[in-house]
Amino acid sequence: MAVTLEQAQRVGYTCLKALLRFAFMVANNLVAIPSYVLYLIMLQPLRVLDSKSFWYIEGVLFKWLLAMVASWGWWAGYTVVEWGDDVKAVSEDEAMVLVNHQATGDVCTLMMCLQDKGTVVRQMMWLMDHIFKYTNFGIVSLIHGDFFIRQGRAHRDHQLVLLKEHLEKYYRSRNRKWIVLFPEGGFLRKRRETSQAFAKKNNLPFLKHVTLPRLGATQVILKTLVAPQENGTPAGRDAVIKESKSKGLQWVIDTTIAYPKGEPIDIQTWILGYRQPTVTHVHYRIFPVKDVPAEPEALTHWLYQRFIEKEDLLTHFYETGAFPPLQGQTKAISREMTLSNLWLVGIQSLAFLSGGMWYCIFQYFYHCLF
- Domain range summary for the chain, segments of one domain joined by +: 3-226+246-322+333-367
245-267: average pLDDT: 89
DSSP 262-303: G-PPPHHHHHH--SPPEEEEEEEEEEEGGGS--SHHHHHHHH
pLDDT for the residue 3: 66
Map residue 247 onto helix, strand or coil.
Answer: coil
Map residue 205 onto helix, strand or coil.
Answer: coil
pLDDT band per the 50, 70, 90 thresholds, residue 2: low
For residue 343, CA distances in Å to 64, 115, 210, 272 come to 10, 11, 35, 22
Cα angle 82, 87, 93; round to 5: 160
What's this model's pTM, rounded to 2 decimal places? 0.89
**Lowest-pLDDT range, 31-35, 96-100, 221-225, 235-239?**
235-239
pLDDT for the residue 232: 47
pLDDT for the residue 21: 92
pLDDT at 153 over 70: yes
Greater pLDDT, 80 or 129 = 80
312-325: average pLDDT: 94
145-155: average pLDDT: 84
Q: Model confidence over 70-93: pLDDT tens digits? A: 999 999 999 999 999 999 999 999
**Residues 102-128 as b or e (16 or more Cβ within 10 Å = b):** bbbbbbbbbbbbbbebebbbbbbbbbb
pLDDT at 235 over 80: no
What gap in Å lies between CA 225 and CA 95, rounded to an integer? Answer: 10
pLDDT band per the 50, 70, 90 thresholds, residue 175: very high
pLDDT for the residue 1: 54
Q: Model confidence over 266-314: pLDDT tens digits? A: 999 999 998 999 999 999 999 999 999 989 999 999 999 999 999 999 9
Residue of 71, 81, 48, 10 lying closest to 317 (CA atoms): 81
DSSP 88-131: GGGTTS-EEEEE---STHHHHHHHHHTTTSTTTGGGEEEEEEGG
- pLDDT over 90 percentage in the chain: 74
For residue 135, CA distances in Å to 18, 22, 63, 73, 347 come to 20, 16, 18, 19, 22
Residue of 80, 97, 95 lying closest to 306 (CA atoms): 97
DSSP state of 134: G
- The alpha carbon of 341 is separated from its chain's Cα centroid by a whole number of angstroms, namely 21
CATH among 3.30.1490, 3.30.420, 3.40.1130, 3.90.380 for 3-226+246-322+333-367:
3.40.1130
Phi (first) and psi of residue 310, to 5 degrees: -60, -40
Q: Model confidence over 285-297: pLDDT tens digits? A: 999 999 999 899 9
pLDDT band per the 50, 70, 90 thresholds, residue 126: very high
Mean pLDDT of the chain: 89
